[in-house]
Amino acid sequence: MIKQTLRCVVIVSCGWLMTAGSLLAHHSLAATYVMGGDAEVAGAFKAFRLVNPHSSMKMDVTNEDGSITEWTFTGGSVSTLARLGLGRTGPNALRPGDMITVTYMPPLDGKSPLGLLKTISYEDGRMVQFRVD
């Protein structure tokens, strides 16, 4: 009886530890971005990193002095991007070098070249909306 009880305690403890780790891994967007804040930047699309739970997009932005800064934007899941027609193919597919304008929620520090995607606007007037405030 003691062996069964001990075995049960060990199994429950291991399950609790595994669950606690995944709960701690989830993060709040408000801890990184100015929620409700808007900013906009234009530049050349570089690449999407299509992974779950959050995709990311790279973009090259030319500064006033002619230097280039690589920006990184956090997007939705792979299924969200597919639903919006983004990815390697689709009606809103982007290719490296395509000029776009991005509306995003800026980082809390206000100066890092990153943000949370809100919209992508294309030169031809199309717009893909990720989130609404």
The total of other beta-carbon atoms located within 10 Å of residue 120's CB is: 25
List, for residues 5-51, the tens digit of each pLDDT value.
556 455 545 445 454 444 445 556 666 788 888 999 999 999 988 78
CATH number of domain containing 118: 2.40.50.1010
Query: What gap in Å lies between CA 78 and CA 122, rounded to an integer?
Result: 20
List, for residues 40-98, the tens digit of each pLDDT value.
999 999 998 878 888 899 999 999 999 999 999 998 888 888 888 887 777 888 899 99
Q: Answer whether residue 9 is part of any domain.
A: no
Q: Which of 129, 113, 115 is nearest to 62 (CA)?
A: 113
Q: Answer whether residue 112 is part of any domain.
A: yes
Q: Answer whether residue 57 is part of any domain.
A: yes
Model pTM score: 0.73
Q: Answer whether residue 8 is part of any domain.
A: no
Q: Answer whether residue 1 is part of any domain.
A: no
Q: What is the CA radius of gyration of the chain?
A: 20
Q: Answer whether residue 107 is part of any domain.
A: yes
CA dihedral 60, 72, 34, 130 (to 10 degrees): 90
Bridge partners of 56, per DSSP, are 49, 74
Amino acid at 98: D
Q: Answer whether residue 21 is part of any domain.
A: no
Q: Answer whether residue 18 is part of any domain.
A: no
Domain that holds residue 78: 29-129
- φ/ψ of residue 64, rounded to 5: -60, -35
**What total of structural domains would you count in the chain?**
1
